[in-house]
C-alpha cells in the first residue's frame, strides 16, 4: 500500500514536471507565458532560460519525490494519509511557484532587451466568424454515449449502488457535452494577417477538441462499468476485464496526449508559414500562470501550452469553479483522514449490539448493518479473510471497512487486520465480517450471538 501510494505521488510529480516544462517550447510564439518576436525565439538567452526552466521542473520533481519516500516508513494509517495529502499539496504548490518565478524571469529578459511587441488591433473576419464551427464534430455522437450509459446500466442494475453510479455518469456526460459546447463558443483568433492560415488554425482547434470531448464521452461508460460487471455478472472474466480496463486507461492517456501534441504541432507549422504575427496583448493576463482577464466574458479559453482548455479566473463562474476545486481537495483530505484518525486512536472503533431480534454492526462514518437473527445461517470465527475485491468502501494495510466481494459473495467488512479471530456471520444473500480491537471482545460477541441463536 505504502509503495503504491508513493509511486502515485512520484508519477504525479513527473507528470506535472513534463506538462509544465512544455511551456518552455515555443507555441504561438509564446515561451513560458511570454510572447516573443519570431526572430528571438531561438536567441541563446531565450533558449538558455527555457532549458533552465525545464531542468528545474524535473529537478524539483525528483527532489520532492525523494522527500516523499518518508511515507514508505511504517506508520499509522492516519499519519500516512495526512502525509500523502500534505506532500501532494506541497508538490503542486512548488511546481506552480517555480512556474511563476520563470514567467517573471522571461518577462525581465524581454524588458532588458527591449523585445516588447506592439499590440495589434483586433481583426475581425465576418466570413470566418460565421463559419467558425464548420469542422466541429457533431454533438449527435453524444447520443451513442448516453445509449452506452443506459445499456451498461441495464446489465449492471443488480450491483449495489448502480443507480447512483448511473446518475453520476450522466452528470459526467453532461460535463463532456458542456465542454463540447464551450469548444463551439471559442472565438476565432486572427494570429496572422493571412486569413487562410487563421481559418485553418481555427478549424484545427475546433476539430481536435470536439473529437476529444466526444471520445471521452463514449469511452467513459466502459471505464466505469467494466469493473462493476467483472465483480458481479462476469466474475469468471475478472482477470481479463481488469487487464482490459488497465489497457484502456493507458490507451486513453496516451491517445489524449498524442492527440493534443499533434494539434499543437500542426498549429505551430501553420504559424511558421506566415510572414507576420499579430500580438494580442495577452501576456498581462497570463502573468500568474493562469488566465485572469476581467475584460473577457469567456468562461473557458485554450491554454498557452496547447494541451488544455483553461478557465478565465476573472469570471464569476471561474471563481466559483476554483472555490469548488479547493473545497473538493479539502473535503477529500478530511473524509479520508478523520475516519482513519478514529480507527487509529479510538479505543473501540467497531462496535456491535445483540438483542433478541437482530445484530447491529457499526463503525465510523458507516451506516449501521442490521442483521435479523432469523436470516442468519451460520456464525463462526475465522483466522483470515477470503480473496476478493472492494466494491464500496476503503481498505488499507490495517483496516477493511465497507462493501466487498469475498469468495464470490457480497460481504460487509468492519475488520482490523491485526486483530484475530474474525467474526463471520453468514446469511442467504451476504456475509458479514467483524473484529474489535481486542480479540477477546470479538470472541465475546461470538458467544453472545451463539447464545441468542439457541
> DSSP string of 159-220?
STTHHHHHHHHHHHHHHHHHHHHHHHHPPP---SS-HHHHHHHHHHHHHHHHHHHHHHHHHH
**Averaging pLDDT over each range in 50-64, 216-230, 263-277, 353-367, which range is the top one?**
50-64
Interacting residues of 196 by C-beta distance below 8 A, sequence separation 6+: none
Structural domain spans, the chain = 120-278, 351-453
Q: What is the mean pLDDT of residues 13-22?
A: 90
Please check the confidence at residue 252 and state whether its pLDDT lies above 60. Answer: yes
Residues with Cβ within 8 Å of residue 376, at least 6 apart in sequence? 359, 425, 426, 427, 449, 453
Cβ neighbours of 245 (radius 10 Å): 16
User: Nearest CA to 285 among 111, 103, 13, 37?
Assistant: 103
Residue 265 above 70 pLDDT?
yes
| Residue predicted with more confidence, 238 or 398 | 398
Side-chain half-sphere exposure of 410, counting CA atoms within 13 A:
13
pLDDT, tens digit, 9 for 90 and up, residues 124-145: 667 677 778 888 999 999 999 9
> What percent of the chain has a predicted confidence (pLDDT) above 70?
94
Which pLDDT value is given to residue 387?
75
**Res. 388: pLDDT tops 80:** no
Residue 25, CA atoms < 13 Å, CB-side half-sphere: 12
The CA distance from 313 to 334, in Å, is 26
Average per-residue pLDDT in the chain? 86
- Could you tell me the pLDDT band of residue 234, with boundaries at 50, 70 and 90? low
Instruction: Point out the least confidently predicted range of 56-65, 159-168, 188-197.
Output: 159-168
In this prediction, residue 122 carries a pLDDT of 64
When pLDDT is averaged across residues 294-311 and rounded to a whole number, the result is 82
Whether residue 264 has pLDDT greater than 70: yes
Percentage with pLDDT > 90 across the chain: 25
Sign of the torsion formed by the C-alpha atoms of 182, 188, 190 and 196: positive
Residue 168 pLDDT: 84
Q: At what angle do helices 238-272 and 195-232 cross, to 10 degrees?
A: 170
Number of residues written out for the chain: 454
Output the pLDDT for position 231: 58
- Model confidence at 408: pLDDT above 90: no
At 311, is the pLDDT very low, low, confident or very high (cuts 50, 70, 90)? confident
Cell triple for residue 164?
Answer: 447512483
Q: Give the model confidence (pLDDT) of 59-104 as tens digits.
A: 999 999 999 999 888 888 889 889 989 998 999 899 999 999 999 9
Contact of 35 with 283, CB cutoff 8 Å: yes
Please tell me the predicted confidence (pLDDT) of residue 214: 93
CATH class of the region 351-453: mainly beta
Cell numbers given for 340:
482513519
pLDDT at position 236 is: 57
- Give the pLDDT band (50/70/90) at residue 435: very high
Alpha-carbon span 331 to 333, nearest angstrom: 5
pTM for the whole structure: 0.78
Amino acid at each position: 500500500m505504502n509503495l503504491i501510494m508513493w509511486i502515485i505521488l512520484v508519477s504525479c510529480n513527473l507528470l506535472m514536471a513534463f506538462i509544465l516544462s512544455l511551456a518552455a517550447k515555443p507555441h504561438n510564439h509564446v515561451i513560458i507565458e511570454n510572447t516573443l518576436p519570431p526572430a528571438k525565439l531561438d536567441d541563446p538567452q531565450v533558449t538558455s532560460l527555457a532549458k533552465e526552466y525545464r531542468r528545474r521542473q524535473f529537478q524539483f520533481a525528483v527532489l520532492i519525490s525523494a522527500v516523499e519516500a518518508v511515507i514508505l516508513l511504517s506508520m499509522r494509517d492516519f499519519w500516512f494519509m495526512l502525509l500523502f495529502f500534505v506532500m501532494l499539496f506541497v508538490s503542486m504548490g512548488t511546481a506552480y511557484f517555480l512556474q511563476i518565478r520563470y514567467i517573471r524571469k522571461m518577462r525581465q529578459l524581454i524588458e532588458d532587451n527591449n523585445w516588447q511587441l506592439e499590440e495589434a488591433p483586433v481583426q475581425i473576419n465576418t466570413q470566418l466568424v460565421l463559419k467558425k464551427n464548420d469542422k466541429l464534430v457533431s454533438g449527435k455522437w453524444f447520443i451513442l454515449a448516453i445509449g452506452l450509459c443506459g445499456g451498461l446500466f441495464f446489465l449492471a442494475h443488480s450491483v449495489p449502488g448502480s443507480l447512483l453510479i448511473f446518475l453520476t455518469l450522466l452528470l459526467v456526460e453532461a460535463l463532456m457535452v458542456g465542454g463540447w459546447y464551450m469548444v463551439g463558443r471559442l472565438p476565432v483568433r486572427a494570429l496572422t494577417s493571412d486569413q487562410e492560415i487563421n481559418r485553418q488554425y481555427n478549424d484545427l482547434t475546433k476539430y481536435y477538441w470536439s473529437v476529444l470531448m466526444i471520445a471521452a464521452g463514449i469511452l467513459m461508460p466502459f471505464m466505469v462499468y467494466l469493473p462493476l460487471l467483472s465483480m458481479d455478472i462476469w466474475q469468471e472474466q475478472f482477470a481479463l476485464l481488469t487487464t482490459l480496463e488497465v489497457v484502456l486507461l493507458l490507451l486513453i492517456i496516451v491517445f489524449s496526449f498524442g492527440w493534443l501534441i499533434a494539434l499543437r504541432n500542426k498549429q505551430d507549422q501553420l504559424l511558421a508559414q506566415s510572414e507576420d504575427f499579430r500580438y494580442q496583448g495577452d501576456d498581462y493576463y497570463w502573468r500568474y500562470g493562469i488566465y485572469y482577464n476581467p475584460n473577457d466574458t469567456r468562461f473557458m479559453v485554450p491554454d498557452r501550452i496547447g494541451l488544455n482548455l483553461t478557465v478565465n479566473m476573472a469570471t464569476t463562474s471561474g471563481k466559483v469553479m476554483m472555490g469548488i476545486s479547493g473545497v473538493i481537495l479539502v473535503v477529500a483530505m478530511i473524509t479520508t483522514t478523520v475516519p482513519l484518525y478514529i480507527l487509529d486512536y479510538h479505543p473501540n472503533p467497531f462496535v456491535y449490539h445483540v438483542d433478541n431480534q437482530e445484530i447491529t454492526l457499526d463503525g465510523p462514518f458507516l451506516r449501521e448493518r442490521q442483521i435479523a437473527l432469523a436470516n442468519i445461517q451460520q456464525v463462526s470465527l475465522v483466522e483470515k479473510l477470503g480473496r476478493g475485491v472492494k466494491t464500496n468502501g476503503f481498505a488499507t494495510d490495517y483496516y477493511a471497512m465497507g462493501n466487498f466481494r469475498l469468495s464470490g459473495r457480497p460481504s460487509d467488512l468492519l475488520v482490523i487486520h491485526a486483530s484475530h479471530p474474525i467474526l463471520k456471520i453468514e446469511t442467504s444473500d451476504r456475509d458479514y465480517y467483524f473484529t474489535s480491537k481486542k480479540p477477546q471482545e470479538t470472541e465475546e460477541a461470538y458467544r453472545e450471538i451463539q447464545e441468542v441463536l439457541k
